[in-house]
Amino acid sequence: MPLDEQHQRGDALGDGEQRATLLVVDDEPAVRRVLVMRLQLAGYRVVCAEDGEEALTLFHQEQPDLVVLDVMLPKLDGFAVCRRLRAESCVPIIFLSALDAIAERVAGLDLGADDYLPKPFSPKELEARIATILRRVGRGSAGAEPRDVPAGQGVLRVGDLVVDTNRRQVTRDGERIGLTYTEFSLLELLFREPGRVVPRAEILEQLWGYPPRRAADLRVVDVYVARLRGKLEPDPRNPELILTVRGTGYASQRVGDTGAMAAAG
């Protein structure tokens, strides 16, 4: 990596305040320079990688709060990097890609990415999406162990699942089901009011922080619902916990059947 970019990888603190660290991974020097400049001005500490292997090395060295990841990378592509990261961490990941096909977007989200931004994009839009995710997840919490809280507080039963909203954990028969922060946030939103139909546009705005501008934006919601069903439903093809309301959105439980969600004693 050129020396000028190595300098740009500095703390950008100045006032001694601890700032969120972002890992930006892109093989285009011009893109890296623009993103580093904009994100540092927005108050973040930024580290850069230009290929997939360097991205993994820096991730382990820096433990960033969020990863901005290009799909088309040398040595190891963005999908492979995402797969490796998801095997060990819940760090938020935003994909960048010149491939705007629905299949590519779905593939990225299916691997556990939190968002997908097609190129060319506005740096301001990227900043907004980063801020939304970090507000939801919290600094340093992506890879952190759940905090200790008194048993029974914020613990709910959803069928045979136990949902602990304090620890952000879901268990079945005592075994933990691994959910990313976005997946757990989706679960919370859908089960906040059992039986209420939550429109896809509302889910997108609440979890990702932006309104749908095109049909592909709402596909993000569908992919995450499918991921959640795959982890929680005994038979994802015939869901009983998360139901599709055709043409509108999704509802938790069967409409009118709210008895399956109660405080766990």
Residue 49, pLDDT above cutoff 80: yes
Q: Given pLDDT bands bounded at 50, 70 and 90, which one contains residue 17?
A: low
CA distance 125 to 90: 23
CA distance 71 to 8: 22
State the pLDDT at residue 135: 84
CA distance 207 to 210: 8
Write down the architecture of domain 3-137 according to CATH: 3-Layer(aba) Sandwich (3.40)
Q: Given pLDDT bands bounded at 50, 70 and 90, which one contains residue 41?
A: very high
Residue 166: CB atoms within 10 A of its CB come to 14
Query: Which one of 13-17, 136-140, 159-163, 173-177 scores highest in mean pLDDT?
Result: 173-177
Residue 92, pLDDT above cutoff 60: yes
Q: Residue 171 forms beta bridges with which residues?
A: 162, 176
Q: What is the DSSP letter of 160?
A: T
Mean residue pLDDT of the chain comes to: 80
Residue 253, pLDDT above cutoff 80: no
Mean pLDDT of 16-42: 90
Q: Hey, where are the domains in the chain?
A: 3-137, 155-263
Residue-wise pLDDT for 169-208, tens only, equals 899 988 889 888 888 889 989 988 888 899 999 999 888 8
Two domains, one topology: 3-137 and 155-263: no
Q: Given pLDDT bands bounded at 50, 70 and 90, which one contains residue 14?
A: very low
Q: Given pLDDT bands bounded at 50, 70 and 90, which one contains residue 47?
A: very high
The dotted CATH code for 155-263 is 1.10.10.10
Taking the whole predicted model, whether its pTM rises above 0.75 is answered as no
Residue-wise pLDDT for 138-149, tens only, equals 665 444 443 333
